[in-house]
Amino acid sequence: HVQLVESGGGSVQAGGSLRLSCAVSGYTYRSGCMAWFRQAPGKEREGVAAIDADRLTTYADSVKGRFTISKDNAKNTLYLQMNSLKAEDTAMYYCAADRILAGPVNAGTFRANFGVWGQGTQVTVS
């Protein structure tokens, strides 16, 4: 049974930084793709960043240059480093994974049906 558990969310002032983590249990994601999504109240869920098995990455235009997605296969953990946070980054952040989804990642990756999702971690920027 594969589980994703996010952590690292919180409240931060604009311009600050947070690092989100997504711990994977039940499977080692050495293949497939992983991604971070977010959903703000009253808005649709949107893709933020994705990474494939070859560590190629893609980002939403709104976070390029500020967010960095990475993964540590030894720790089976996905990360999202968020710098220069803005009020509009306030949302619930979710990690997602799919071992079948092939790379390279691109903007279309965010429209794929990821098979496993975490429960989310709240990020509030004021």
CA atoms within 13 A on the CB side of 42: 2
Asked if residue 23 lies in contact with residue 86, where contact means CB atoms within 8 angstroms, the answer is no
Q: Where are the beta strands (DSSP E) in 17-114?
A: 18-25, 33-39, 46-52, 57-59, 67-72, 77-82, 91-98
Give residue-wise pLDDT tens across range 56-110. Answer: 999 999 999 999 999 998 999 999 999 999 999 999 999 999 988 888 999 999 9
Please tell me the predicted confidence (pLDDT) of residue 30.
75
